[in-house]
Amino acid sequence: MIQVYKLLIIFSSVTLSSCYCPTDRIHNIGQCAYRIHCFGNIRGISLPNECYESTNYPVTVDVTVTDAIERFDDHLDLDFLNIITSLKVLGRWQHTKLAILMYTTRLRHLQLANIGIEEISGTPFYYLARLETLDLSYNSLTDIAELFQFQIHPNKLRKLSLANNAIKDIPSEAFDELSSLAELDLSYNIISDLSEEPFYNLTKLEILRLNNNRIKDLNGAVNSLQNLKHLYLRGNQIQNIDEESLNIIQHLETFDVSWNELEKIKPIMFSRHWDHFTNHSICKIILTGNHIINVPNATSQEISSRFARTMNKHNVNILTELDLSSNSITNIEYSAFQSLIQLISLNLSKNKVIDFVVNANDLADLKFLNLSGNYITQLYYESFSAMTKLQNLDLSYNRLEFIPDMTFNNNNNLKLVNMTYNEIEKLDSIHITMFHPEGGVLDLSNNGLSKINIPYGEGLRLVTLFLHSNNISDPSLVDLSHQTDLRTVDMSDNLIWELDDSSLRLPGSSLVYLDLTCNKIHWIGPATFKRLPHLKTLRLGHNLLTKLEYGSFEGLHDLLNLDLSYNRIVFLDSKLLMDLKFLRVLSVRSNDMTVLDMTSWYSHKFDLTVNIDNNNLTCEWLQKALNDFNNGYTRVRPTVLLGGKGKNTVEGIPCLPSESESLIDRSQYILADERLLVTSQKILEAVREQNYYFRNFILRVMQKEEDKARKVEKAN
């Protein structure tokens, strides 16, 4: 028995010694302001005396307890517990009384999230008169009936989170004593019934989160919340919202009833009353992910309310964002948005809209319009005529075949127009006169385009044009020569076969970026890019180039980046790139290149990085190139981005060993050498033959002269 007692003492001492607050985890962050991290329990902390009874400056003590246990004994420092202002507990407290809270009467912030609580006994918050925020989220609580009781009324609790628990029922008296509450989070529980109206006493509540529960009907549960500004009901099972349950909707800034089972929209859902808003408020009405088929006209009541508000001299500036995406909307009535004042964002994406014909005056303030993912085949001027402030227009994933005349004649503030994934094959005009003063972006990718022309006087201030993934085979049919503000053109992933000096009808005065990757380019003729003197980036990767012609890059005096990766260029002579005086980055990755002659780059004036990944360059060549760079003989540095072939490396760059040169197929060079040798031999033989005949000729002439001389001598 004595031995057992001794073991208990030893075990107790071990437990006590492992529960402490290390001195290196006590951080003084100000005058009587501390951040403390403890393990197991809170003990062994000594703070200056003035921090216990001081009234000259506020005391802030933020404590985090990891692997917290609920064990209290004579070693507790009650004076210290009484000055804790913020407490975060990390551990596993399945069934708890939260007994420590009876000693933390100055607590303002309490976090008990994700510690496995299934049941809380008693009324542990009773003495926490100063508590402002309480986080009980990510536990397994089911019963909160008598949990929130306080000694002093009204208490100061402003924010309560019960999210991600297992709460099914909320008794009517559950929040009786929380009249000061401003934010309540009950999301991600299994609440289905609100018939007991548990929120009736929360008169100061501004934010209520009930998203991701099983609520089918509001039953007027929020009608008493006259100060409510944000109501979140996302991810429930609501099929209908009756008139009684919409009594407070006119003063909501956020009304999120997305991903429910609503089939009809009541016009009152769009109505807001200006008395409840401050200047520049943004109302968000989120109805995405329901089963809505029709958007009805505003009733006379909502329309008259709008005009009365507009005429009122005390009218405030209210902006509205409306999200109706991911429904089954087929019909939008002409005056559907008439009750909405200053609608700035309208999302109708992922519906079944065929025709978008609405009163343009109702959309005069619109900045963002998303019609993506519908069945629209035709655009109408009357719908867009008043949208003079429109900046972002998304028409992607529709069935447009062309852009009608005058459609966007009044839209001079467009920043982004997305028309990807339509059925446009040819465009002789985009019918957009002018983009935003800061510049515009037009995306026509994935359409099947083979021809596009933007005539003079159109597309002013167009800065970026995307044409990738189309059917462009003849780049001369892409006439952008009048777009003097155009800086970026992307024609990647098309069917372009070859380029010459007449292929690119692009604006030479402004273009700085041209992407021609993923085409079928096998030949680039001389002076192809001569008209683009200001180009800084040229991408020609993923094509079928086998060699480059002299003069192909003539005129590219400002080019900084050239991408020739993923082609079939086996041999590259730097002489071919001599026009690129300012080149900084060259990529020849994945060409199976065997020869890279850098002789002409020895005089390059700027640092030039050459990416040589996945080629067949030898270590001997690489070593010489790196030595020349390291010794300052050249400013050209070979390098890799993602590694390359072979196990051998030089300065971490993979290469092929010199002895494997014989493994490289150099038949074309051997054949060329043999032909040259044969030719040289033939020339030498011809020269020898000519010399032979010449010598014979000279000898014969000399012999004749000698014979004449002898005859003369004999005659004399």
Give pLDDT tens digits for 404-446: 998 999 999 999 999 999 999 999 999 999 999 999 999 999 9
Q: What is the pLDDT of residue 663?
A: 44
d(CA 676, CA 542): 34
- Residue 545 backbone dihedrals phi, psi, to 5 degrees: -65, 135
User: Would you mind telling me the total number of residues written for the chain in this entry?
Assistant: 716
d(CA 223, CA 245): 6
With a cut of 70, which residues of the chain have pLDDT below it? 1-19, 53-56, 71-75, 273-280, 300-316, 643-646, 659-716
Using DSSP, state whether 2 is helix, strand or coil. Answer: helix
Q: C-alpha 306: how far from its chain's center?
A: 37
d(CA 646, CA 622): 13
- Residue 412 backbone dihedrals phi, psi, to 5 degrees: -105, 15
Q: Where are the alpha helices (DSSP H) in 263-313?
A: 300-311
What does the DSSP assignment read for 612-653? --S---BHHHHHHHHHHHHTTS-SEEEE-SS--SSSEEETTE
Q: Are 378 and 405 in contact (CB under 8 A)?
A: no
End-to-end Cα distance, the chain? 163
55 by Cβ neighbours in 10 Å (0-12 / 13-18 / 19+) ranks as exposed
Per the structure block, which two tokens stand in for 328? 């089954």
Q: Are 391 and 369 in contact (CB under 8 A)?
A: no
Using DSSP, state whether 20 is helix, strand or coil. Answer: strand
Contacting residues for 406 by C-beta, under 8 A, at least 6 apart: 381, 431
Closest CA to 174 of 221, 217, 216, 129: 221
Q: What is the pLDDT of residue 250?
A: 79
Give the single-character DSSP code of 299: P
Closest CA to 128 of 112, 117, 143, 113: 112
d(CA 539, CA 513): 8
Query: Strand 416-418 to strand 440-443: parallel, antiparallel, or no bridges (unpaired)?
Result: parallel
Q: Are 611 and 589 in contact (CB under 8 A)?
A: yes
Q: What is the pLDDT of residue 19?
A: 67
Q: Are 107 and 130 in contact (CB under 8 A)?
A: yes
Per the structure block, which two tokens stand in for 460? 């002013």
* Number of Cβ within a 10 Å radius of residue 412: 18
Q: Are 39 and 67 in contact (CB under 8 A)?
A: yes
pTM, rounded to two decimals: 0.84
Biggest alpha carbon–alpha carbon distance for the chain: 163
Closest CA to 409 of 428, 391, 427, 382: 382
What does the DSSP assignment read for 583-598? --EEE--SS---EEE-
Q: What is the pLDDT of residue 47?
A: 86
Closest CA to 540 of 527, 558, 521, 559: 521
* Number of Cβ within a 10 Å radius of residue 360: 18
Per the structure block, which two tokens stand in for 182? 């401003």
d(CA 44, CA 60): 18
Q: Are 574 and 595 in contact (CB under 8 A)?
A: no
